[in-house]
Structure 1
Amino acid sequence: MNVELPLILVVAIFGYFGIRLMRPPTWLIVVLLLGGFLLADTFAAPAIESGTKAGVDVVNGTAK
């Protein structure tokens, strides 16, 4: 049996429980969300994406 969930639903569930269990201050949540949104449209975005993909490859054991 395969279960398919949209990524936004998984992120929303993870975020909900993360906020509920860790109780970070509201200003920190806003700063992280706004900073990530703004950073995604800068020159650093390709470096972040390739670093993330490399990290996933290492965790999955598919690194060359």
Structure 2
Amino acid sequence: MNLDLPLVVVLGLIAWGAVKFLGVRLWIVVVITLFGFYLADTFMAPAIDHGTRNGVEVVNGTDD
């Protein structure tokens, strides 16, 4: 059985679990999220996108 989940859902579940079970404060999650949004608008965005896509391909075992 295959289950397709968007990466944002997986990361959201990890963030929720960190807040709920690890005691991470909610404001830290907000700061890290805002940092990600600001980082996505910089010159590093293509490198981050490429690295994320490669990581997902490695986990999924897909070869193009």
TM over 0.5: same fold? yes
Could you tell me whether the CA contact under 8 Å between 1:54 and 1:63 is conserved in 2? Answer: no
Aligned pairs for 1:22-61 (under 5 A) are 22-61=22-61
Deviations 1:23-54 (A, max 9, x none): 11234212201100100111111100000000
Aligned length: 61
Structure ID, larger Rg: 1
TM-score when normalising by structure 1 = 0.67
Aligned pairs for 1:13-24 (under 5 A) are 14=13, 15-24=15-24
Change over 3 Å in CA distance of 1:18–1:40 after alignment to 2: same
Could you tell me whether the CA contact under 8 Å between 2:19 and 2:26 is conserved in 1? Answer: no
Tell me the distance in 1 between the aligned counterparts of 2:22 and 2:49: 27
TM-score when normalising by structure 2 = 0.67
One-letter amino acid of the counterpart of residue 20, structure 1 = K
Deviations 1:3-36 (A, max 9, x none): x98876x369613333111211234212201100
Tell me the distance in 2 between the aligned counterparts of 1:47 and 1:53: 10
Q: Secondary structure of 1:17's partner?
A: helix
